[in-house]
A and B are shown apart, each in its own frame.
Chain A
């Protein structure tokens, strides 16, 4: 059974076939998309049954893809290589779930449904493909393949300033991926497959890159290379490029400025996908590629990663505090929460890494919920300014209940998914100084300020929007409480936010083996070389 390929290519193929359905059958497109999502959930359940709670990659599928003769440079070998480990499985599961929510949320899209749902399907396949790919070239192709659908989805179906936001998103992300491409070219020319004989076989296989034995002696990225470019060796530079590339995606301060614009202008379902899934590539890329391939550089720059994480936490939270637009507030809270992921990764401890992955997963659920909530309000009033609302709880009781759940979960209150991730990240960050000395105590201590600030901006928003006497500025619409479509989105998300807060073991079973293995490999590689 090629479960992974099925998961990746079902949406892409269905999307391509849907091109041939005339666009006057407007309703078929959303039903097809829903069908694909449900099929993906069934496939995912099968995958979960087959998956074993151990470290290492499972369900691997490998096919030769490109094999080129590069003359005296050697041979180029790229494979179609997909597999899952604890990290990618949690991300894939998140993607499948979020896409179902996004499609339900897209039900009200009226403008050019055919184009919209086809782009959504292609995006779906590309995202899952990137999470599964273990060949760097394959990853890059899927990664780039996300950009165009996303560009059009924001640019055509977005808000007033959609064109500016979409091109900004595209250019930023492309810049990031070009930096990654530079490293990919350097990497594959520096690595050979273990079985290459007379002629060097250059490989994009990420697992081969994890093993320092496969480095070609005297290549610029080899460990004993004495070549330097300015202050750093090529290995350090390569790591920095990857770091910047993935930090744009994360996004980390100061590379985050595309995010608020993209979020504010994107339609609700696209905001959901952007926040819940695309941002995860930042953390995923660091954990999957940058850290294990360049452990020495990762250790060298861990203080930088930690510091950027810290700055993002505080700066994002302060911006969220001052944001006037509800979506902008949520966007900055994402920046702040992704800062925690960086801090956890920088700590290099099992707890920190586990926490980082857990935080990525829980942020996926919670941010999706937050954007759905913002969308619910926007659908009714076409107004996102926080100050224009007051006393909403009197008119929309059930809605307020969900808002409270989402806000508290995002704040990291115990009992919600957000709590587990942050607790473990702090555990890791505080341990770090004594275990491996990567992240100093003061960073961990300062980061707690972020928790305080996030409580501040959420509680203040609740106070401003939901309490007090009811009033609406600039709008005279009669507010109605949630409808059944909105329940079907919010209920599962709220349940997930609570379940993963109460029963963290569900997820830790997958993440913990991965994190343990990750840290072992990181330091082992360092000790042996």
Chain B
């Protein structure tokens, strides 16, 4: 391609990246203002990031891509699939800003910048069609996450951050190694191209399998699926609550989006040497089991939610395990619900954290009586995570298991029916630990004459909105599902 053509292509592509450019602009503004503004005025930085994320959200809706656009010579592609996930990232971003503390925050500019950077990286990752682009955007997310995980500025937080970093680097290294092997086998880094598919179809070798596993491993690390989950509990325990809420949703969903694309590509329309659906099913099964069983014995709520989040990754993967369009649609539905319920739980925990130490679940004893609304919101969030009616968590799980049964009916693959039964029965295990906090909140008598917790109207309003959405999507899921059904361009 001529240089001139390349330049036209690049400048033409920029127009499609408006939401990302908005984020980038906000990032630069925050960076500069952070240097100029006085310490007590830095709440404005949060406001700027919030507005930028909101703006990006609406711009994405406004420019909803009817047709996929290939950008930057095939490095990325803007399509409805990636736009869908971008909306989730923006939502996750501004919810995080809302629940982040505004006062007495050390390094407020950096905090906002890192959040914006992770959202930006997630958007780019969801659009990537090329291994190099995957790597670059993944690193943008990872490096920012490592720093963000240390934002409690204490010993423990630093330890969590370092662990995250060490595990993460190894995962990235594995991934790069896998990519280089695949590049050697196929001669291209564009994993959606015909050349890539054809080359791999002619090249059924064990080496390909190893290389594919290495790449997948890097992504599984990002979504904290078993056996690449070991970092999650330490990071979740030590990072600030708002950061945990963010890290457990946005990078995870970004990793999940690109995992869908890469697994579908490596699956070679069912012609690959190993059945990737089975691999994903096994990982999903392990994540659900390990996550739920480990969560049972935790006494630190954030650590418990870390394991719960591992189990939730397992549920997210169920749709992909069926390697079907419906399954992926249901996983996308689950992603939306997961975003809502996870933020609901962390937002309420954050409110509790304003008054009590949430190091141990025992501190929640008896608080439900005086702070009913807060405790009730937490209850609904946890019920939704368990997957019980009347919350959308139930609908989402019902749909995932529907696709699983249907896939089993078609393929008779024994792992799918095992996953079906184990996944559902795990609800009982999950309930046992999810109910621990509501149990203490409502059933225990407060230790001393505890005063009602400090709650803010804005906080309560946020909880109420999330609760109402979770119940509304249970009663009327058709709108959201109908919209997701129209999403067709995955690869």
Residues of A within 8 A of B (CB): 65-73, 76, 112, 140-141, 144-145, 147-148, 151-152, 155-156, 162-163, 166-167, 170-171, 174-175, 178, 181-182, 185-186, 189, 219-220, 227, 229
Contacts and interface: CB of A to CB of B under 8 A. Distances in A.
Contacts of B485: 69, 71
A175 B426 CA distance: 9
B405 A185 contact: yes
Contacts, number: 93
Contact of A170 (B435, B476, B481): B435
A156 B478 contact: no
12 contacts: A66-B478, A67-B478, A71-B326, A73-B402, A141-B394, A144-B389, A151-B435, A156-B443, A167-B439, A185-B405, A220-B408, A229-B417
A15 B345 CA distance: 25
B290 to A, nearest CB: 20
Given A167-B435, A185-B398, A175 B428 contact: yes
A155 B405 contact: no
Given A155-B442, A170-B431, A219 B409 contact: yes
A284 B394 CA distance: 24
Interface string B397-437: 01101110110110010000100110011011001100100
A140 B389 contact: yes
A72 B405 contact: no
A147 B432 CA distance: 13
A174 B442 contact: no
A141 B390 contact: yes
Contact of B431 (A67, A174, A189): A174
Q: Among A65, A73, A167, which residue has the most Cβ atoms of chain B within 10 A?
A: A73
A217 to B, nearest CB: 12
Contacts of A66: 476-478
B390 A167 contact: no
B389 A71 contact: no
B169 interface: no
A73 B403 contact: yes
Contact of B439 (A141, A163, A185): A163
B324 interface: yes
B143 interface: no
Contacts of A155: 439, 442-443
A155 B324 CA distance: 44
Interface of B: 324-326, 329, 369, 383, 388-390, 394, 398-399, 401-403, 405-406, 408-409, 412, 417, 420-421, 424-425, 427-428, 431-432, 435, 439, 442-443, 475-478, 481-482, 485
A72 B424 CA distance: 23
A166 B436 CA distance: 12
A244 to B, nearest CB: 12
Contacts of B324: 71-72
Contact of B428 (A144, A148, A178, A185): A178
A182 B482 CA distance: 25
Interface of A: prevailing SS: helix
Contact of B402 (A70, A72, A162, A170): A70
A76 B439 CA distance: 35
A151 B475 CA distance: 23
A162 B445 CA distance: 13
Pick the 6 closest A-B CB pairs, nearest first: A71-B326, A141-B389, A155-B443, A175-B428, A73-B406, A144-B389
Nearest to A154: B443
Contact of B442 (A152, A170, A178, A182): A152
Given A69-B482, A73-B402, A144-B389, 20 more contacts: A70-B399, A72-B324, A141-B389, A141-B390, A148-B383, A152-B443, A155-B439, A155-B442, A155-B443, A156-B442, A163-B443, A170-B435, A171-B428, A174-B428, A175-B428, A178-B428, A181-B424, A185-B401, A185-B420, A227-B412
A167 B485 CA distance: 39
B432 A171 contact: yes
A166 B326 CA distance: 39
A176 B236 CA distance: 33
Contacts of B478: 66-68
A175 B425 contact: yes
A111 to B, nearest CB: 10
Q: Among A70, A147, A167, which residue has the most Cβ atoms of chain B within 10 A?
A: A70
A450 to B, nearest CB: 32
A192 to B, nearest CB: 13
Contacts of B435: 151, 167, 170
B436 to A, nearest CB: 9
A103 B431 CA distance: 30
B389 A70 contact: no
A72 B428 contact: no
Given A69-B481, A69-B485, A155-B442, A145 B431 contact: no
Contact of B409 (A144, A152, A189): A189
Nearest to A189: B405
Contact of B421 (A144, A156, A171, A182): A182
Contacts of A141: 389-390, 394
B243 to A, nearest CB: 31
Contacts of B408: 220
B412 A166 contact: no
Contacts of B403: 70, 73
A178 B425 contact: yes
Nearest to A23: B372
